[in-house]
């Protein structure tokens, strides 16, 4: 059982306020229950450190706190930004890209997932400006495509054509604007881009702009 001082520190690390404010909250009875059933202002506590969240990112939001404009963190409870350890996105989606975006405050897990050695598959759905010509699948699968401004070939990627101007592309890397640049190298332009899958996780029917906490078995499958 945590002492009041330990509990105040724990609540402060979850972003509810300063330690002093949390000590006052405990004394005034705003914190109730015990163990795994603690409540703050009669609401269940936020997830403990080590959490992983999945969001269906809408267009117009950026992932870096250094960027201008609206940030994906605005779609989360404000106190999540005050958590310690800090909550970060697992990689980034550019402002115009929508779909599956992960967040975690687990630094080790974050680095495992974004490491070039992870080879985590990510599937995107792209709508293109011009009809596909038929050569794109072989080009992307070849392992010889070198993006403009780089000298290292991309790892093989899988293209599934879904329409005259639409396709799903599965990659295992996370280079800067990689999918958009791949289609540009093939002589086309991506008009819309939506991430459907990250490793074993699929976006499913999660509404745009909404988020949910991953279950322990989902986290275990994400980083076995």
Q: What is the pLDDT of residues 178-198, one digit of tens each?
A: 999 999 999 999 999 999 999
Strand (E) positions, 48-171? Answer: 52-57, 88-89, 97-104, 122-128, 158-163, 166-171
Domains defined along the chain, listed by start: 4-44 (no CATH), 52-116+200-222 (3.30.70.580), 122-198 (3.30.70.1560)
DSSP structure class, residue 210? -
pLDDT of residue 65: 78
Confirm whether 94 is a catalytic residue.
yes
DSSP structure class, residue 172? S
Q: Quick one: average pLDDT of 80-96?
A: 94
Mean pLDDT of the chain: 95
Q: What percent of the chain clears pLDDT 70, i.e. is strictly above it?
A: 100
Q: What percent of the chain clears pLDDT 90, i.e. is strictly above it?
A: 91
Q: Quick one: average pLDDT of 138-164?
A: 97
The sign of the CA dihedral 137, 143, 145, 148 is positive
pLDDT of residue 1: 64
Name the strand (E) or helix (H) holding 80: none
pLDDT of residue 36: 82
- Asked, as a colleague might, if the bond just before 195 is cis with ω within 30 of 0, I would say no
- Which pTM was predicted? 0.92
Q: Quick one: average pLDDT of 23-48?
A: 93
Candidates 4, 36, 42, 94; catalytic one: 94
Name the strand (E) or helix (H) holding 40: strand 39-40
Residue 27, pLDDT above cutoff 70: yes
Strand (E) positions, 64-189? Answer: 88-89, 97-104, 122-128, 158-163, 166-171
DSSP three-state, residue 150: coil
Residue 68, pLDDT above cutoff 90: no
Q: Copy the structure tokens of residue 195.
A: 């991430």
What distance in Å separates the CA atoms of residue 70 and residue 77, rounded to the nearest whole number?
Answer: 15
């Amino acid at each position: 059982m945590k002492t009041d001082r330990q509990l105040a520190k724990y609540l402060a690390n979850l972003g509810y306020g300063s330690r002093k404010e949390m000590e006052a909250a405990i004394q005034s009875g705003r914190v109730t229950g015990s163990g795994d059933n603690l409540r703050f202002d009669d609401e269940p506590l936020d997830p403990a450190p080590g959490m992983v969240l999945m969001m269906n990112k809408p267009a117009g939001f950026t992932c870096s706190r250094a960027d201008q404009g609206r940030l994906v963190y605005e779609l989360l409870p404000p106190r999540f930004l005050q958590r310690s350890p800090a909550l970060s996105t697992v990689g980034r989606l550019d402002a115009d890209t929508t779909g599956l975006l992960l967040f975690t405050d687990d630094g080790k897990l974050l680095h495992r997932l974004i490491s070039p050695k992870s080879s985590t598959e990510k599937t995107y759905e792209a709508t293109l400006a011009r009809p596909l010509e038929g050569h794109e699948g072989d080009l992307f699968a070849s392992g010889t495509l070198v993006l403009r401004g780089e000298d290292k070939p991309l790892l093989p990627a899988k293209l599934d054509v879904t329409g005259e101007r639409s396709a799903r592309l599965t990659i295992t890397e996370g280079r800067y604007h990689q999918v958009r640049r791949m289609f540009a190298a093939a002589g086309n332009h991506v008009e819309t881009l939506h991430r459907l899958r990250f490793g074993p996780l699929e976006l499913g029917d999660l509404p745009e702009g909404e988020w949910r906490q991953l279950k322990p078995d989902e986290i275990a499958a994400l980083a076995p």
